[in-house]
Structures are given as structure tokens and as C-alpha cells.
Structure 1
Amino acid sequence: MQIYISNPQDVHIYVDALGRSGGLVSIWNPSLFECIEVIRNQRFLVVRGKLKPTGEIINVVNVYAYNAPGARRVLWAELTHLRRSVQGMWVFGGDFNDVREPAERWNSEFVALNAAYFNEFIEEAELVEYHMGGRKFTFHADNGMHKSKLDRFLVCTSFRDKWPSASVVALSNVVSDHCPILMTTVPIDFGPIPCRIFNSWLEIPGILDFIEQAMASFRFDGPADLHLATKLKWIKGMFG
């Protein structure tokens, strides 16, 4: 493990791959984050710095865990020690090469002992996980025949308490067998809640006449897209 003070002009740091294995890179926006210190290991990369808007210290850990279960357990111990010995908020993200429960694997072997060690690390390091949207699995092997949730974000409770509405989304895996995952602390507005109409409603006697009369009474003066959104909201209100 290598520790060194970052150059204030740095905006990225990396760990070289060993052949076709490993390799990590972390990149940050210098207008929002000031890197103070970097800790490099073949399987994790810690960027410690200050959030410029607030001055708070945060440690961001880029993780690429080993395939071998025994090596992963050693890595969990190293990360737990690091978490306890360095002050500030913590964010761990990357490929942990392990799952927490059977539901995080599909058509793949679940090893309860490996999951137990992984969950023990999360508990001892006092980390929590946001619910992941977008996709249930982040790793797809053999053309999607085997799937697992290997990639995730784990954060300390102080980070979660500061950003309780943060969200994590698994994106499309067009060019890789792993899905990129995105965590944002900015609330996401997915727009108006959809207006749902059940087929059974159409069987109610006189329903079509009622709808036609209601539509004829609707009035709105404005852009077409806003007209449609307002009309759908109005219809939804009619049905309670």
C-alpha cells in the first residue's frame, strides 16, 4: 500500500493493471473537490479530500476485489482497518466480486460463507447501501445466462444521513459484461406519476358517455405539451 500527498493540480489518479487483471482510475472535478491524499493498493484506490462547497472531508474508495474468496477476505480486513483509522465520510464503490444474499445471483452459484464474510465486512466497517434502481444485476456472463449483483456503492452512516435521498442506478452494459453504476446526491425528478386506467373500468355502464362529457368540459390555454400533462392530471383527479 502506497500513501502520498496529492499535487493540487491533479485531477485523476490510477493503479496499473497486472497483465489483463486489475487496474483502477479515479477522476474528480477540481472545482468541487480538492484532493489532499491518495492511498494506492493493487485492489483499491483511496482519494481523500475536501468538498469545496462545505469543507467536509470525504474518502472515496475505488474497489476491484479479487476473484479468490480467501484473497477477498484479506481485502475486507484491510478496508475495515482503513475505514477505522482515517477520519471523514466514506464512500466505497466498484466491483466487490461478491453478493450479499441469494437473490443477488441468477442461474449462478451462491456461496453462503462468502456472503457472510462480505456482510460482516459491511457491518464492521459501519457501512450502508442505497437501493439500486435501473437493473437488478450488474454482471452478465455468457450472453446473460448468468447474472449477479457484484457492483455497488457502500457509504458510511454520516454520508447517508447527510444525503438520505441519494440514489444509485445501474446503467446499460452495451460494451461490457458489467453495468456502469451511478450514484447521485441530486434528487431526480422522473416527472408526473403516470395516469393508470384499468380495463375493468370500461365495463362500467355509461362510463364512455361520462368520459366524453368530462373531456368536453376541460379547458386549458397553453402549449400543447403542457396542455396534455395538465389534462392527464385533471383526468386522474376525476377518478380519485
Structure 2
Amino acid sequence: MRKTIALLTSILLFSASCGEASKEKKTREETPAVVKGNTEKDTLSPASEEKEEEPFVLTEENAIDFFFDYQKGLTENKVKITTSLGSFTVELYDNVPYHKANFIYLTRKGYFDNTMFHRVVKDFIIQGGNADNLETAKKRKEIGRYLLPPDTRKGYKHHRGTISMPSSEIDNPHMLASPYEFFIVVTKPGSYHLDGDYTPFGKVISGMDVVDLINQQPVDDGDWPMRNIYIEKAEVIK
């Protein structure tokens, strides 16, 4: 009798332990595995990953707003231009904000580097910012196509040494400015017939002798220098 009771007790204990083991195993299998690391990244499919941001390009629609924001807090107002004939420095006027911001922006983007003084009119102006090379065309495409409104009511005149912006060659009754080019007045004491039509946005403060030297170079019938005059580097300085 005692043997029978002991046997039954053993069977009951064995069954209970098997039940607990089975329950524990089932619980583990039904619990989701914990994914370590960045679960959002791990669960993204290639198709849902964010695309790379497209490069910013200036247009007629966004240029004014962009330069309005860009000029806020802009303290730099001097640009040194190094040419194949020497260097000179221009100081930009603070109260012609769009043209100042545009010139600083293009300088920082490296646009003027390796462009040329492509138009030289004796005893009148030198004009730069263009070139007949693919590099310049590529830069313009990457920066964007846009024009700037004239700002001629700040009281600045086209004195000798004034840097100003030419109007675009496209159909342009409002004399909108071509943002990639500039001209510097060489005439003594100035070329005041330009006042009111073009926007003076700065002046040469050192190196006017280099400007004069550029103006003295031989040119062809189209006012293009017979020998290329490069802007090797333009840089914002303090």
C-alpha cells in the first residue's frame, strides 16, 4: 500500500513539473523578440528611405526673398579681386542690400573665380564676371537664373571707381540687373549719364591703378581684350 501511494505521488510530481516546463516554453515562444538598435531605421524599406535633398537653385520667384534673408546680419562688406594684372579691393554699400548680398553670395560660391574682364571701353569702364568657357556656364546653371531689381534712389552716383551692375541683355524694360556681371567706372571724374539707369553698389578703395591698367589693354572691335584678363580669385575680406 505504501509503495502504491509513493508511486502515485511520484507520477503527480512528474506531471506537474512537465506542465510548468511546457507552459514556460510556450510563453517564451509567444513573446516578440526585442530588436536592438534603431528600430525605425531597421524596419524602413529601401523605397521608403528619404531621398537626398536637391541642391538649392535661385529663380525669378525665390531670389528676392532669399537675398532679403541672406543680407540680415551680413557684416562683411569688402571683396578683394585678384586679376592676372594685379589686385584691387571694393567696399560695398550697406543700404543697397540686394546687390551687396548678391555680390557677397556669388563671391563665396566661387562664381567669379576664373571669369574675365570681357568688356573694356577706354576711359569709360571695365566690365567683368563673364567668360566664354564651359566652367562659367556650369556655375551659372548650378546657382540659378534670376535678375535683380534696380536700386537707384540711394543717392549714389557713378563717380570714378564706382562698381555698378549692368542691366540684363534680355527684353528688359524695367532695367533689371544681370546679377553675374559688374562694371567699374574709370572716367574722371565720373560717368554721370549712367545715374538713374544702373545701380551703384560699391566703390574701389584700393588698387585703382590696377583698374586703370586693365582699362589700358588693347581690345578688338567688340571691346573684348585682345589678351584675356582673368579674375583669378574673388574673396570676402574684413
Flag whether TM exceeds 0.5 (same fold). Answer: no
Question: Which has the higher relative contact order, 1 or 2, with Cα contacts under 8 A spaced 6 or more apart?
Answer: 2
Structure with greater Cα Rg: 2
TM-score interval, normalised by the smaller of the two chains: under 0.3
Bigger proportion of residues as strand: 1
TM-score (norm 1): 0.25
